Structures are given as C-alpha cells and as structure tokens.
Amino acid sequence: MATLFKKTYTATIPANAETYTRKGVEYARFKGRNGKTRIERLTDDGARLLLETESWYTRLRVADGGYLVINTKCKDRTTAEQYAANLQTEQDKVRAGVFTKKEANAAKHGRDALQTVIDAYLDSMTARGAAASTVKEWRRYLETVYTALGWQTLNDIDKTALDAYLEQERLNGGKEHKGRGARSCNAYVVTWTAFGNWLARNGKTAINPVAGLVRFDERADRRHIRRAFTLPELQALCDAAEQRPLQERQTNRGSKAELKPETVDALQWLGRTRALAYKALAYTGLRWNELRSITIGAAHLDAEPAFLLLEAANEKNRKGAQIPLQEDLRQALKAYRDERIKRLVGDCSAFPGAFDGVTLFDGLPGKMNKVFDADLAAARVKNNKGEYERIAKMDGAGRVLDVHALRVTFGTMLARAGVGLATAQRLMRHSTPALTANVYTILELTDTGAAVNALPSMQANTVEKESYNGE
C-alpha cells in the first residue's frame, strides 16, 4: 500500500516576521511575496522556518521488495492518492509476473508530457551529430502531428490516428489543399518511426507505438519524378539566373532607371552566384543544402586533383565525402572564390586562411523553390524551328524540373559518358547500386528516341511491298 506525505524543509525567517508561541509551538507571522499574511511553524530551536512541500510524495513498495519515494507532483491529495495507487498497481503486477519491468517502466513514462520527450529526443539527435537543419525539420514533422491530433502525453500516441492523419494529408493537405506529395508524407513516416524506435530503445515505451507505418509509393507520385536537363537547357537556366536580378530591378524601376553602381554590382554578383551554384549542382551531384555548407577552406581548388570537402555533419548519409571537380568547374570556382575573398576583405588586409570558415557561395537561401522556378520561367531555348521558347516545368510524361533535378542531371551525364555503375554509385554517394541504376542513370527519351529513329523507314517497307505485288 502506497503512503502519502509531504516533505519538510527549512528556510530563513523573514526580517519582517513576528514570532509567537501557541500551545508550546513557535510560529512566525509575515507578509508573503503576494502581500498576503502567512503563518509558518518554526524549528524546535526557533532559528528557521519549518516548511512543507506543496506537492505530495508517495512511498511505495517496488517489485524487487524495496521501497521507493516518488514526487507525485500533485497538490491535491485525492489526485495524489490515485496517482500513487496506479504506481503501486504497476509494481504489484511486475511482482506477480503479469508484466515485465520494462513494461512497468514504460507505463510510468506514459504520463510524460509529449513535448518534453520530443525535446529530449531532438537533443539526442544533436548530440549524435545531426545537422541543425535536420533537427529543425524533424521537430516540425513531430510537432505538426501531435498538435493536429491533440496529443499531450506518450500514452496519447496512436498509430491508427497517425495513419488516418497522413492519409488525409495525402489527399487534402499541403498548399491549396491539393494533397501532399508522397515524398512529403513519407518524411513524416520516417520521422515518427525513428522517434518510436528511440522511445522503445530508451524504455519510454514497451514497444515502438507507431511500428508498421506504411510508406507511400513515391514512384506513383508524378509530381516528384524528375528528369535531367539537356545541356542547352542547363546553359539557358544559368544564363537566366545570372541576368535576372539586374533585369528585374531595372524593369521594376523603369527601363531608364538609374541604379547606383554599387547596386548594379550587388545584383550582378547575386546573379553570378546563383548561376555558378546551379552549375556546381549539375557537375558534382551535391544536394542544395550540402552545397550551401561548403566553406572556402573546404574548397581545395589548387589541389591535384581538385575537390570539395563535404563534412559528415552536412552530408545526407553522415559519412562525409571528397567531391571531385570537372576542370571547367574548378576554374570557375577558383575565379569566384578569389572574388569572394576580395569582397570580404574590402579595403582591409587579412592573413591567409582568415575566411576558411566562411561559406564559399555568398548568401544562398535555405529554400530555393520559388527562386529556381522564376529562373526556369525566364530561361529560353531554341526549338526545332529555331524559335526560342520556355522550358516546361513538367513534360508530357509528368516529369518535373526542380533544384534536385540538377543532381539527376549529374547522374544522367555520368551514364551518357559511359561511367561504370560502381563508379557512378560512389560519385552519387548512394548506399546501394540499385538507387543509382533505377533513379539516376535512366537515359532521356531524346537518347532512346534517336536510336529508334535509326530503324528503317516504314515508308520504304511499303514501297518494297508494292513493288513485290506488282511483279
């Protein structure tokens, strides 16, 4: 049987206190912080206040035969009694073999605040070296769900409710309520599954409470099937990115608007930065956030061979990598790096390596979707008629062009160049060859179409047949 009590502790007697004795017991009367009069008992020697905790404590017998004192954190005695009774029941079940100590421990944690547990989980991710951007994203995936479903404690986590929520988001979530993409929904699945595994591993729950969440089929989601850029499209994109900042500012101010030289320079530098970033993505296979993490010191452009050093903390697979550079790209990056340092130094002087910790690319935003789409819309390529036309965001097969499509472009160029699958896998930093083969090394329809067009003409077959019938 659990017993309840309040702990006692002592405190200094306030200077304004009035002491008196009643029935042989000494008391102090004084004004509390809220201005109300308080009366508290004194210690036997009358030197200090003798106070009680506001919350109730319980002393209960645990499964191994010993006793444990626990703070119920309840100020109401009736609530504290119920809490203590539940704890004692759990321990009695363990002792009787009804369930294990692990289950009992999980039951104890079931009343923990979900927000507090999530904070602890994300702290553990940071301690293991997870990138700050990843931790921020995972926090959003976790907090969005439990807020939407009204979960307060660990006991509230419900796989069925989470399944239903994700299914609804797939159909009606996202922008303009047109439904979230399969990849977006799977990010929630991955995050919550990992969180559930952590809960079970750390004894917060007996098992993963969301085990068995089914991932959505990304291959069936046409919005996220990407294609590679052709070389003319890539060049047009980079040209548009380089020119658009200044052109749009001039247009917004009027074609004859006079811009300050420093404004023109800043806009041209912005365009140059963005264009080179696109080229770097297409010729290295780096992901956008990986490219943003590259520092001046990590750009080994004078080495033989030249490479970019990608730190493990900034790489998706958390392994780190040395990214080799195509020669034209190396030269472009060297020129950009030198100009970047000049702009950082200004009129001052700096010792060698002073800016090694500064990012190589100047001010690349974390989210690039809107800017990329605007650059793509401004790009123009020649069609078969020699006319300039826009590059379609989505082609007839439902494949799209976005920032990540530049990585797809890198993989496709490797395939077209005849690079072996094993080498391509290392360059793409894929965990398995299947990813490289199935996702990134599919040749474009233009390539296969050219091969099909090499077949004999159907018209020639018809002529030959007619000639045969006439004989």
**Statement to judge: residues 208 and 274 lie in one domain:** no
**Statement to judge: residues 155 and 280 lie in one domain:** no
Final residue of a domain: which of 190, 224, 258?
224
Residue 128 · residue 111 · CB < 8 Å: no
Crossing angle of helices 261-284 and 369-378, rounded to 10° = 100
**Statement to judge: residues 411 and 265 lie in one domain:** yes
| Non-local CB neighbours of 321 within 8 Å, separated by 6+ positions | 310, 315, 429
Question: What whole-number distance in Å separates Cα of residue 118 and Cα of residue 138?
Answer: 10
Q: Which amino acid is at 298?
A: A
Final residue of a domain: which of 191, 207, 224?
224
Specify the pLDDT at position 446: 46
Structurally, the chain folds into a number of domains equal to 3
For residue 459, is it within any domain? no
- pLDDT tens, per residue, the chain with 471 residues: 678 988 888 888 988 899 999 998 999 999 886 778 999 999 988 899 998 888 888 887 765 667 777 788 788 899 888 888 887 887 777 667 665 555 556 556 667 889 999 999 999 999 988 888 889 999 999 999 999 999 998 888 998 889 889 988 887 776 656 677 788 889 999 999 999 999 988 888 878 889 888 888 776 665 567 889 999 999 999 999 999 999 988 887 655 568 899 999 999 999 999 999 999 999 999 999 999 999 999 999 999 999 999 998 887 777 889 999 999 999 999 999 999 999 998 767 777 788 999 999 999 998 898 999 999 999 999 988 889 999 999 888 778 899 999 999 999 899 888 888 889 889 998 877 777 775 544 554 445 555 566 677 666 554 444 544 554
Question: What whole-number distance in Å separates Cα of residue 6 and Cα of residue 79?
Answer: 14
Q: Which two tokens stand for residue 302?
A: 């004078």
Question: Domain containing 426 — which CATH number?
Answer: 1.10.443.10
**Statement to judge: residues 76 and 150 lie in one domain:** no
Question: Domain containing 140 — which CATH number?
Answer: 1.10.150.130
C-alpha separations of 228 from 46, 328, 357, 432, 439 in Å: 84, 20, 33, 21, 11
Residues 360, 365, 366, 370: is their CA dihedral positive or negative? negative
R_g (Cα) of the chain, nearest Å: 34
Question: What whole-number distance in Å separates Cα of residue 433 and Cα of residue 439?
Answer: 10
**Statement to judge: residues 373 and 321 lie in one domain:** yes
**Statement to judge: residues 181 and 266 lie in one domain:** no
For residue 352, is it within any domain? yes
**Statement to judge: residues 438 and 319 lie in one domain:** yes
For residue 281, is it within any domain? yes
User: 């008629």: which residue's tokens?
Assistant: 385
Question: Residue 285: beta bridge partners?
Answer: none
Specify the pLDDT at position 457: 67
**Statement to judge: residues 367 and 418 lie in one domain:** yes
C-alpha separations of 408 from 84, 103, 173, 225, 453 in Å: 59, 47, 27, 10, 25
For residue 162, is it within any domain? yes
Final residue of a domain: which of 184, 209, 224?
224
Q: Which amino acid is at 338?
A: D
pTM: 0.58
For residue 467, is it within any domain? no
For residue 109, is it within any domain? no
Question: What whole-number distance in Å separates Cα of residue 124 and Cα of residue 135?
Answer: 10
**Statement to judge: residues 332 and 390 lie in one domain:** yes
- Could you give the angle at the alpha carbon of 470 between the alpha carbons of 464 and 471, nearest 5°? 95
For residue 27, is it within any domain? yes
In 3D space, the residue among 208, 189, 186, 206 whose CA is nearest the CA of residue 197 turns out to be 208
**Statement to judge: residues 256 and 200 lie in one domain:** no
**Statement to judge: residues 191 and 277 lie in one domain:** no
User: 């990138």: which residue's tokens?
Assistant: 131
Question: What whole-number distance in Å separates Cα of residue 241 and Cα of residue 334?
Answer: 20
Question: What whole-number distance in Å separates Cα of residue 457 and Cα of residue 435?
Answer: 37
For residue 13, is it within any domain? yes
Specify the pLDDT at position 459: 63
**Statement to judge: residues 407 and 311 lie in one domain:** yes
Residue 57 · residue 71 · CB < 8 Å: yes
Q: Determine the structural domain holding residue 182 and report its residue range.
A: 114-224
Specify the pLDDT at position 80: 87
- Residue 342, H or E segment: helix 327-345
Question: What whole-number distance in Å separates Cα of residue 396 and Cα of residue 5?
Answer: 74
